[in-house]
């Protein structure tokens, strides 16, 4: 009789435990993003091996054969979420600031864990300041963007360029070349948005209808009494408004400036100096795979024609980063980190020329495929 009672109690307890474990999943309706967060903890090779052992078709699309993963390392990963080949999983929760590096290199050989773009916006009172007179180069970039030139017929505007951290600037543009304090590379007027205007002029001249939004996000934050950590909420409103007014928009490019110094953000191609680019994709949005493919395509085109200008594609997720970057609004949405605090006007302009070149080629081939 005792055995029967124990069996009944065990059965009831099991059902209660399963209910408790399942209830959070029911609240999220087993959303794809929830499953992605859960499965992303485990190596792709292990998951593919399990699927492929039942259906070999799953293995046909892989670049290289999948070997059976080590049982010991897989067991350790399942039990502790520690990857023995990635020291970040061992130290990430123990060392202050280490979680900033919880990102994944999705493409490119120019990226290293020690050189990841870091999200660290200055206080609002700093980003509202105008530090310098506009240079001749910036004044030229700020001239009214050209209308699409006669050429390939493009109906309406197709590309929307914006700047979530519109205050991000470059020391040489502010008359501060070589200043040891990279935090001075911010300005309410002379900043990354002028380079967006230059790119818009290049794309419009190539027949691609382009808008560059030079909204001062710092001013918008100040009006709402928000801090700089809310910048993506402001730029989200900007993107949504642009989409509502321009139904033809297909591509959304959020240009930023990296905080790294000269040696980590500059390269030379055929004797010409370029500011390097990093494409950033948020891994916590439902469009992640399509955003990643878009970024990969642009990276590959840059690598083929201007080797080294693109450092690669970086996937970002985790507690200390945004993880979405408004990329859930479109499958053709990416963040572009353009150079670092020390890059000169000439280097930045060379990179804008290169980006306009490869993007135009990508755009018209995509238009042709889509009819």
Domains and CATH numbers, the chain: 2-97 (no CATH), 124-369 (3.40.630)
Contacts of 359 (CB under 8 A, 6+ apart): 203, 208, 298
Over residues 112-134, mean pLDDT = 66
Longest pairwise C-alpha distance within the chain = 93
pLDDT above 50: residue 152: no
Pairing of strands 333-338, 159-162: unpaired
Based on its alpha-carbon atoms, the radius of gyration of the chain, rounded to whole angstroms, reads 24
CB atoms near residue 220 (< 10 Å): 18
pLDDT above 80: residue 65: no
Over residues 85-94, mean pLDDT = 55
352 pLDDT band, cuts 50/70/90, is very high
Chain segment 182-239, per-residue pLDDT in tens:
989 999 889 999 999 999 999 999 999 999 999 999 999 999 999 998 999 999 999 9
Q: For residue 209, report the phi and psi dihedrals to the nearest 5 degrees.
A: -60, 115
pTM, entire model: 0.73
Pairing of strands 251-256, 333-338: parallel
141 pLDDT band, cuts 50/70/90, is confident
CB environment 35-47: b (16+ within 10 A), e (fewer): ebeeeeebbebbe
User: Which residue, among 260, 239, 250, has the nearest Cα to 326 in the 3D structure?
Assistant: 239
29 pLDDT band, cuts 50/70/90, is very low
As a whole number, the mean pLDDT across the chain is 79
């Amino acid at each position: 009789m005792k055995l029967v009672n124990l069996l009944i109690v065990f059965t009831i307890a099991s059902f209660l435990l399963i209910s408790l474990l399942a209830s959070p999943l029911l609240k999220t309706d087993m959303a794809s993003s929830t499953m992605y967060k859960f499965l992303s903890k485990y190596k792709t090779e292990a998951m593919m091996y399990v699927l492929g052992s039942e259906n070999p078709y799953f293995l046909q699309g892989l670049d290289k054969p999948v070997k059976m993963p080590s049982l010991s390392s897989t067991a350790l990963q399942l039990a502790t979420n520690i990857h023995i080949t990635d020291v970040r999983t061992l130290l990430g929760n123990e060392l202050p600031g280490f979680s900033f590096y919880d990102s994944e290199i999705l493409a490119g050989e120019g990226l290293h864990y020690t050189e990841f773009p870091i999200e660290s916006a200055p206080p609002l009172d700093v980003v509202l300041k105008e530090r310098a007179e506009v240079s001749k180069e910036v004044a030229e970039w700020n001239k009214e963007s050209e209308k699409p030139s006669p050429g390939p017929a493009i109906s309406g505007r197709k590309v929307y360029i914006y700047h979530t951290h519109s205050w991000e600037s470059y020391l040489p543009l502010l008359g501060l070349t070589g200043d040891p304090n990279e935090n001075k590379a911010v300005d309410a007027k002379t900043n990354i948005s002028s380079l967006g205007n230059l790119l818009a002029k290049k794309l419009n001249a190539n027949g691609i209808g382009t808008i560059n939004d030079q909204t001062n996000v710092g001013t918008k934050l100040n009006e709402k009494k928000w801090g700089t950590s809310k910048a993506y909420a402001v730029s989200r409103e900007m993107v949504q408004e642009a989409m509502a007014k321009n139904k033809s928009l297909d591509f959304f490019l959020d240009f930023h400036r990296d905080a790294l110094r000269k040696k980590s953000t500059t390269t030379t191609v055929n004797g010409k100096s370029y500011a390097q680019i990093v494409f950033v994709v948020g891994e916590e949005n439902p469009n992640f795979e399509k955003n990643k493919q878009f970024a990969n395509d642009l990276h590959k085109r840059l690598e083929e024609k201007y080797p080294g200008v693109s450092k690669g594609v970086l996937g970002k997720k985790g507690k200390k980063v945004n993880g979405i970057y408004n990329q859930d609004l479109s499958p053709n949405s990416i963040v572009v980190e353009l150079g670092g605090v020390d890059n000169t006007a000439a280097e930045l302009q060379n990179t804008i020329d290169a980006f306009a070149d490869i993007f135009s080629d990508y755009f018209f081939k995509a238009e042709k495929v889509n009819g």
